Structure 1
Amino acid sequence: MIKKILSGAFCISLFTFSYAGERPSTITTAVEVQPFQQIPKTVIIKTKKFKIRIDKQPNGKYLYQSWAANAKITSKPSMIISDGELIPDGSGGNYYFRFLNNGYTYEVWRNYLTDSASKAPYTLSVTDDNDKEIVNQDGVVVKQ
């Protein structure tokens, strides 16, 4: 009987000492992942056929304006689309802007991480309401 009591006391003291050094687990909160590059408030890109300006609006949405490639950006835009959104693409910093206009989806992709060193920094993609791509043009930064 004494052996059982001593054995029980020994086990309790052993467990007490082994757990005495442990610290309580801390609760972690979600951390916002920042891309490697800052997203500009305004960017102007030029593709083969278009000049495109994208501006962040005070409400957090984005504004898309486009002109013919040879037009001056100070002239009236040929197209204006408001309420665009920024969509992150993966964890490497790529993202794209999406704008919806009369059944068409305009996406301007920012290509930070690509499989080719010669890939343009931006790509314009326009699809119709059947998800058929009707425009796909690479673009370079005119002003950021």
Structure 2
Amino acid sequence: MKKVNLFLVLVLLLSIFVSAQTVKPEYQKCIKSFIDTLKSDKKEVIAEMVAYPLKREYPIPDVVDKSDFIKRYDEIFDTTLKNEITKSNPAKDWSDMGWRGIMLNQGNVWMDFDGRLTSVNYQSKAEIDLKKKLIEAQKKELDSSIAFFQKPICILETDKFKIRIDNLGNKNYRYVSWSIDKAMSEKPDLIIYRGNFVVEGSGGNHQYEFKKENYTYECAFIVAGEKNPPAAKLTIYQGDKVILSQNAKIIAK
């Protein structure tokens, strides 16, 4: 997979905003309905408007269903986010982003064209505090050799390996792996530092690449572009030669 340099990433981001269009009147009605419901704090009604699972930033668990949403409503929709939404103008503050859906301002909230809430990218103080607590809990469960990181990225499993990727800070990514029969509390079989995050195109596909001597370990996440793709894939290269390729399950991300 080809790497996308900073210039191309900036071009892609610019193209997203250039492609933004005013939301059509029929979709503005859906947005207004969502705004009015939020103003009244009708949790049960809003819960019916959500496309589940509603992703939260790992290690915070995703919102899996209506009952879960109602319990966590105040944790997600704090005063700041409510104000941004309820004071917004459907015609001016929301944008039609094509296949991506409808976006509020710079992307804190997304809806689809059926009026369903598909993404909340904002984090309240309650969620920030919860994330810190969960990260500290993870560190205590790991071997001391890897019990330090700024942000967990994901946990994968292939037929042969358990894999953990963490951000140590300043986009310094770390690859850790165990044989599939080992627990992550045990000493890892392999640790590689200074990995790279690589974006491919605008469809969401991305990967993490790690180099150790003449070997490259590539953990790819496949969102679009293939028919019935695996969620993720581990590919190991020796030089330019593929010596292992295995589909991976995303255990956490």
* Mapping for residues 29-44 of structure 1, pairs under 5 Å: 33=13, 41-44=152-155
Equivalent AA in structure 1 for residue 245 of structure 2: N
Length-normalised TM-score, structure 1: 0.70
2:181 maps to 1:70: yes
1:106-138 per-position Cα deviation (integer Å, ceiling 9, x unaligned): 100010013222x21110000112x11001000
Which structure's residues are more often helix, by fraction? 2
Q: CA RMSD in A?
A: 2.4
Are residues 39 and 120 of structure 1, via their aligned partners in 2, closer, same or farther at CA, if it must alter by over 3 Å? farther
Length-normalised TM-score, structure 2: 0.41
Q: Distance in 2 between matches of 1:142 and 1:74?
A: 16
2:67 maps to 1:87: no
Cα offset, 1:32, TM superposition: 6.4
Counterpart in 2 of 1:26? none
Equivalent AA in structure 2 for residue 125 of structure 1: T
Q: Distance in 1 between matches of 2:196 and 2:207?
A: 8
Which structure's residues are more often strand, by fraction? 1
Cα offset, 1:59, TM superposition: 2.0
SS in structure 1 of the partner of residue 191 of structure 2: strand
Tell me if structure 1 keeps the 8 A contact 2:161–2:178.
yes
Are residues 99 and 38 of structure 1, via their aligned partners in 2, closer, same or farther at CA, if it must alter by over 3 Å? farther
Q: Distance in 1 between matches of 2:210 and 2:221?
A: 14
Are residues 83 and 38 of structure 1, via their aligned partners in 2, closer, same or farther at CA, if it must alter by over 3 Å? farther
SS in structure 1 of the partner of residue 13 of structure 2: coil
2:251 maps to 1:142: yes
Tell me if structure 1 keeps the 8 A contact 2:233–2:247.
yes
Equivalent AA in structure 1 for residue 224 of structure 2: L
Contiguous gaps of at least 5 residues in structure 1 = 1-29
Overall identity of the aligned pairs, in %:
31
Equivalent AA in structure 1 for residue 164 of structure 2: R
Selected match of 1:124 from 219, 226, 234: 234
Tell me if structure 1 keeps the 8 A contact 2:12–2:202.
no
Cα offset, 1:70, TM superposition: 1.2
Counterpart in 1 of 2:119? none
Q: Distance in 2 between matches of 1:46 and 1:33?
A: 32
2:84 maps to 1:104: no
SS in structure 2 of the partner of residue 33 of structure 1: helix
2:51 maps to 1:51: no
